[in-house]
Chain A
Amino acid sequence: MTPDDVDRRLILATQAGLPLVPRPYDALAAQLGVASDEVRHRLAAMLDSGVIRRIGAVPNHYALGYTANGMSVWDVVDSQVDDLGERVGALDFVTHCYRRPRRAPLWPYNLFAMVHGKSRDEVHDKVRQIAALLGDVCRARDLLFSTRILKKSGLRISA
């Protein structure tokens, strides 16, 4: 779906965050020159259509003590990757899980699952649980810890 002009202005007005005032939707409505109800209806419609995944807080993993960040990658038999990807993604410690293309010979992996933990040992332990779930349909695997955040600014669209 393509956002109309008001949706687009609403996205621009909220991409840095929701106003921290008692009536945030009224504040947005005043800023956009539309009725307050309309802001809430449009946000609800964008939640329904998937344009907005959720409205909430994004914590900094490091501040919560999740200092170990591992990208676990797996070479899973194509015929089973979708079924197993759903099951890996459902594990409570996996925050993102995707199927991506292999890039032979450097990169034989087609399943990516991000695992966060309070120590590398904890991440290794969780990755072993993924390995157990995948069993022998997984032919190769690796675990890439992040050693430095070089940039983290998130998405910004321009006006």
Chain B
Amino acid sequence: MLEPDPLDRRIINALQGGFPLCEEPYRAVAEGLGIDEAQLIARLQRMLDARVLTRFGPMFQIEAIGGAFVLAALAVPEERFDEVAGLVNALPEVAHNYRREHALNMWFVLATETVGGIAQAIAAIEELTGLTVVAFPKEREYFVEMKLAA
């Protein structure tokens, strides 16, 4: 994996939010960083290609457009772990999936365009795996922000 150099890190820190809505936003950001626009664009492209950045653009809040995000977990028997991961990951509604150290050892986020899509996705996972999905819909959001220094 590409190791981000000091300029890459300055670019990442400068672009964690507030990308300008002016006609030439890359030029405006580049001026703030003391580099030129072409250099900024090339660095962004390289970091996206190398997966140092997973994306660059607007972060949409799916709930604001009628959709839903729900965290859910499964307690998967160890000997079935890879098989179940394959079944769960194959569903397009599964946006992220992590293995974690707990009896509930598979934690994933369901993202659907409608609120009703969550129940359908949960039913599909239960049908495919024969396991019970434990859903943790958020009841309140205190903070969601990327604020890790690069």
- A and B together in one complex: yes
Chain B residue numbers with a CB within 8 Å of A54 are 16-19, 58-59
Residues of A43-83 contacting chain B, CB below 8 A = 43-44, 46, 49-64, 66, 69, 71, 82
Interface residue B141 (Cβ < 8 Å from any Cβ of A): yes
* Residue in B23, B24, B89, B138 whose beta carbon sits within 8 Å of that of A98 in the complex: B138
B134-A151 in contact (CB<8A): no
A59-B65 in contact (CB<8A): no
A59-B12 in contact (CB<8A): yes
Taking CB as reference atom, which chain B residue is nearest A37? B23
Bound together, the chains give a CA A49 to CA B62 distance in angstroms of: 12
Chain A residue numbers with a CB within 8 Å of B139 are 98-101
Contact with A along B1-31 (1 / 0, CB 8 A): 1101000010110011111011111110000
Contact with A along B93-131 (1 / 0, CB 8 A): 011111111111011100101000000000000000000
Interface residue A108 (Cβ < 8 Å from any Cβ of B): no
Bound together, the chains give a CA A96 to CA B138 distance in angstroms of: 11
Count of B interface residues, CB-CB < 8 Å: 79
Residues of A100-143 contacting chain B, CB below 8 A = 100-101, 103, 106-107, 112, 116, 142
- Count how many pairs of residues, one from A and one from B, have CB atoms less than 8 Å apart in the complex: 240
Count of A interface residues, CB-CB < 8 Å: 76
A20-B45, A144-B101 known; A59+B85 contact, CB < 8 A:
no
Q: Give chain B's interface residues, CB within 8 Å of chain A.
A: 1-2, 4, 9, 11-12, 15-19, 21-27, 37, 41, 44-45, 47-48, 50-62, 64-67, 69, 71, 75, 85, 88-89, 92, 94-104, 106-108, 111, 113, 134, 136-148, 150
